[in-house]
Amino acid sequence: MKTSLLELVEQRDRLTEETGKYYGVHELTLKENDPVKYERFYSRLHATMVAAYEVSRYVTASPGAREMGEVLWGLLTPEGDALAISAGFFSHINSGKYAIRFMAEHHYDQNPGIRDGDVFVTDDGESGGAPHPGDTYTYVPIMVGDELVAWAMGINHIMEAGAPIAGSWPGFAVDTFMDGFVVPPIKTGENLRQFTWWEQMWLRRTRAGTLNNLDDKMRLAGCAMIHREIHKIISEFGLDYYKRAIREIIEESRQMITDNVRRTMVPGRYDGAAFRAVKYKGLQSIWEHADKDQIISIRQRLVVNGDGTIDAYHDGSSHWDYHAWNGYPGGADVAFYLSMINNFAYNTKPTSAVSWVMKTHYPKHSIYNPGVNVASFSNIWAQSMALNSIGFNSVNRGRFAIGYLEESFQAEGDWEGIQGAGVLPDGTPYGVTNFENVGGTAMGAFCFRDGQPIAWAEWTQLANIGNAEEFEYLIPATFYLGRKLLPDFFGHGKYRGGPGQAILHWVVRPGELYLSRGGAGVAYCTFVAQGMSGAYPAPANFHISARGTNIYDLISAGKPVPRDGIELIQMAEEGTLKVDQLDIWRYDMPPIRLQDGDLVATCNGSSGGWGDPIERDPNLVLDDVCQGWLQPDTAKKVYGVVLEKTNEGWTIDQELTTVLRKSIYKKRLDDSVPFEEFWEEERNLLLTHNIIEPVRYMYTHTVSEIYDFDKEVKEFWQLPEDFSW
């Protein structure tokens, strides 16, 4: 190479740090001198990414990539900064900075060498910036002569990662050696063609080798399209113009994002917290050091500076541990920048500039920066989506404070994924992931209207839960008995969150089948610890398994069958549905063996509310009841709305509603205590160590670097300096 990759990365870092401008670009000369040519140049880059997305995703057989937007193609600078991207997984634009830096620091340009049309692949968290092993990246260098001028990048969420626990998010991992098929950036092909041994690796090291190979071909097909078109664009515009333009594009984007922060945010500090239960006790008898229950602390302090920059500190987050919910800075960044890109890159070119305006700080040895390469990162996406939602809601509070009401809503990213492996009766093995609950979740309530169901996903612009038929052929032993919105399953408020989704699967002649789940929240605790302005937070995910049922007898007799988890429980309690073993999983469901006639239900994707529920317009409550989204008893207990059933349907008893709401308000006052009394009672619990072990462990194992989180906690509760948890 003309200049070493490490020299390019170090030069970018130095010039940007010294000048505060990307690569030291002080003036947008190309844009100012000929704005039409400049915009035409960028439109060519962007159109190339769009074409790669629209064409290449049909190479694969995975519905997650083909129809649900779990993909992204991008064009990167030689140093790994994103210039232009397709639709899809837009926050992955910053992963390239980690992968390219790793290749630079380990002198890949010398060994194995970097040549035009080479193919590199990675799915590693520490060295490749991947959130988890299910996200796999392909990089193709684009060179003019001996000069590296760009990288084409493709990424998608694969079907199965090859870990002991089957699926895309290998749960119950203890360390990275249980994460599955994980590779640092590795050269897997030349001249836009993969080596044969690489195809065999997918076949031998994962359960869905055929699908994973098709995904691999899909990513490379898009990169090949980008490779071809960028060479054409350089020939048309000239290499000198290209090299200057790509730096101006990122600097232009940086300036616009900074201006957006200044215009829409109140400078100051925004603190947020979330928690995630990890239940390993009794499941890890072989690995004694992992045999414990924990609560993960997820903390973020978002500091909005007067110059339009933002710093995100994560002191107070848990120490890394022997569980599947650790991560590395690159993967944590993928989650964090979801909210930042959504909120501040809306009127500019989507580039890596966001990472030069918003800086992340992950304390060493925390769940986001273990400082060791043995920590499992197989499901960081579960708790890092809470991290992102904290940031998103911090921005929404800032927007609300400054008066941007239309943009202010309760953000949730509580996704779900059923996964597993099996062997069909004919001996065919397979590995599976059901992506439908990743494709879309409910949107939280706004400060002026209700949230929408299954209409939003923080991680993609293409919220789409996919067709049920797609997953029935991918998971050949399960069929749908129901797929619907679940009544009452949202955060209540003056404006309620969007209802979550309920799905019920019927297991039919499975041969051998084991299913588990990978997901963000668990019902042991809320997903994020807030509803907005007095509303309820969203209920988190739960699952139900019914093994040994009489489902075939009900069908043969023409009797009703359950359509969701709640109906399953009700029919089991009534005795209509006979069940040998009924389990309600309020935490991560471990792999369970399912046999012919078993049922599995998932309830997930709800969102939080905004405002006091008893201030909700009774007509909106009535409408929800008529839609089947709210039960009449809930309308009365939570919203204080009394409904009467008539021949024409439900009507509101206005007089009784007024009386009931006054009664609810009075009871709140009667039950409430002064804050000082509440504070003293909670403080005594700490002083007497009257807290459960997972909470004690959580506070004992938090990590700080920028500020002393432990000191802050002790000062708030006025604990002795020598107090130990």
Residue 464 is predicted with a pLDDT of 84
Q: Which residue is it, tokens 């432990």?
A: 710
Residue 461 is predicted with a pLDDT of 79
pTM value is 0.95
pLDDT higher than threshold 80 for residue 623: yes
As a whole-number percent, the residues of the chain with pLDDT over 90 amount to: 84
| Alpha-carbon distances, residue 162 vs 177, 419, 516 (angstroms) | 11, 12, 14
Per-domain residue ranges for the chain?
5-255, 409-611, 613-671, 675-717
Residues 167 and 433 sit within 8 Å (Cβ to Cβ): yes
Nearest to 149 by CA among 83, 222, 77: 77
pLDDT higher than threshold 80 for residue 529: no
Q: What are phi and psi of 399, to 5 degrees?
A: -60, -45
pLDDT classification of 417: cutoffs 50, 70, 90? confident
Q: Which amino acid is at 265?
A: M
Q: What are phi and psi of 82, to 5 degrees?
A: -75, 135
**Strand 358-361 to strand 310-313: parallel, antiparallel, or no bridges (unpaired)?**
parallel
Residue 634, Ramachandran bin (φ over 0: left; ψ between -120 and 50: alpha; else beta):
alpha
Please tell me the distance from the alpha carbon of residue 614 to that of residue 652, in angstroms, as a whole number: 14
Q: Secondary structure of the chain: what % helix, strand, coil (to 5)?
A: 40, 20, 40
pLDDT higher than threshold 90 for residue 497: yes
Residue 463 is predicted with a pLDDT of 81
**Strand 119-122 to strand 193-194: parallel, antiparallel, or no bridges (unpaired)?**
unpaired
Is residue 395 classed as helix, strand or coil in its secondary structure?
helix
Residues 22 and 254 sit within 8 Å (Cβ to Cβ): yes
Residues 493 and 616 sit within 8 Å (Cβ to Cβ): yes
Please tell me the distance from the alpha carbon of residue 617 to that of residue 639, in angstroms, as a whole number: 9
For range 565-591, the mean pLDDT: 96
pLDDT, mean over the chain: 94
For range 664-686, the mean pLDDT: 96
For range 282-299, the mean pLDDT: 91
- Summarize pLDDT for 198-241 with one digit per residue, the tens: 999 999 999 999 999 999 999 999 999 999 999 999 999 999 99
Q: Which two tokens stand for residue 307?
A: 């110059």
For range 254-266, the mean pLDDT: 96
For range 41-69, the mean pLDDT: 91
Please tell me the distance from the alpha carbon of residue 101 to that of residue 10, in angstroms, as a whole number: 9
Residue 504 is predicted with a pLDDT of 96
Burial class (CB in 10 A: 0-12, 13-18, 19+), 197: exposed
pLDDT classification of 466: cutoffs 50, 70, 90? confident
Residue 283 is predicted with a pLDDT of 83
For range 642-648, the mean pLDDT: 91
- Summarize pLDDT for 628-639 with one digit per residue, the tens: 999 999 999 999
Q: Which residue has the higher pLDDT, 44 or 467?
A: 44
- Summarize pLDDT for 508-518 with one digit per residue, the tens: 999 999 999 98
For range 602-606, the mean pLDDT: 93
For range 77-88, the mean pLDDT: 96
Neighbour-count burial for 206-216, b at 16+ CB within 10 Å, e otherwise: bbbbebbbbbb
- Summarize pLDDT for 24-50 with one digit per residue, the tens: 999 999 999 999 999 999 999 999 999
DSSP state, 24?
G
For range 158-167, the mean pLDDT: 93
